[in-house]
């Protein structure tokens, strides 16, 4: 590791993503250039009252970490117009695609933050302000030496629990069984969250199938819907 000393490496902040290159299409680039200011919320290093940016200020506030290309996120928002959604993603192709979907369907109850989710939670999201949180199909990082890169860690769950209101929920979906068991084990140790059901393999109505989920089901993968309530 050239040009870096151990102290510099230790001081690196914990992040919710691993930097990767992604190819962005002309339509995604155009969506960002033309409409980012309409549908995205700039990162701020201070708490924000997200309800004030939506038309329905009394609607439940749901936050999603890592929406990928945003297709399911847009479908969920369109199907639940009484709720407001904040969707966080760092990768520009996904951000551009979701902005395009929001603009084409005129979705008024969905906003994007293009920033690291851990920093957003720490800086912008007030404690006890969320009615729910979604984390759908986070990267399982299956190799043991890469487990430290997994998004779901005890520190993140502790932070999430503080942000959710009592009786609110956390919904995590994964099609990687070992990762599902890892997540459940960590959740069982989080005192502020309790499981809503013992049937983690039951399909929920609130989440549409994704393209990758359908592909996984055809290959015989089971999808785990892990839902915990804030107590």
Catalytic residues: 139
Q: Up-side HSE of residue 81: CA atoms within 13 Å toward CB?
A: 6
What's CA 19's distance to the chain center, in Å?
A: 16
Alpha helices, H only, 57-91 = 71-79
Q: Give the DSSP per-residue string, 131-179.
A: EEEEEES-----SGGGGGG-S--HHHHHHHHHHEEEEEEEEEEES-HHH
3-state class (DSSP) for residue 77: helix
3-state class (DSSP) for residue 65: strand
CB atoms within 10 A of CB 200: 20
Supply the angle between the helices 177-188 and 154-163 in degrees, to the nearest 10: 60
* Distance separating alpha carbons of residues 154 and 73, to the nearest angstrom: 25
Q: Give the DSSP per-residue string, 27-50.
A: HHHHHHHHHHHHHB----SS---G
Find out whether 208 and 76 touch, Cβ atoms under 8 Å: yes
What's CA 173's distance to the chain center, in Å?
A: 11
């Amino acid at each position: 590791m050239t040009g870096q000393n151990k102290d510099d490496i230790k001081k690196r902040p914990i992040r919710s993503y691993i930097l990767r290159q992604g190819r962005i299409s002309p339509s995604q680039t155009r969506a960002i250039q033309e409409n980012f200011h309409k549908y995205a919320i700039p990162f701020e290093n201070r708490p924000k009252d997200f309800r004030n940016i939506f038309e329905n200020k009394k609607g439940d506030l749901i936050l999603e970490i890592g929406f990928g290309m945003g297709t399911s996120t847009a479908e969920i928002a369109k199907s639940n117009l009484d709720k407001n959604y904040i969707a966080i993603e760092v990768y520009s192709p996904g951000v551009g695609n979701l902005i395009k979907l929001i603009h084409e369907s005129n979705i008024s109850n969905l906003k994007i933050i293009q920033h690291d989710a851990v920093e957003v939670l720490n800086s912008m999201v007030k404690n006890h302000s969320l009615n729910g949180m979604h984390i759908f199909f986070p990267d399982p990082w299956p190799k043991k030496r890469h487990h430290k890169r997994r998004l779901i860690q005890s520190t993140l769950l502790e932070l999430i629990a503080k942000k959710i209101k009592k009786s609110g929920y956390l919904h995590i979906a994964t099609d990687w069984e070992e990762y599902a068991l890892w997540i459940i084990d960590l959740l069982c140790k989080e005192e502020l969250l309790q499981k809503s059901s013992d049937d983690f393999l039951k399909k929920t109505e609130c989440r549409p199938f994704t393209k990758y989920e359908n592909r996984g089901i055809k290959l015989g993968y089971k999808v785990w819907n892990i839902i915990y309530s804030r107590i």
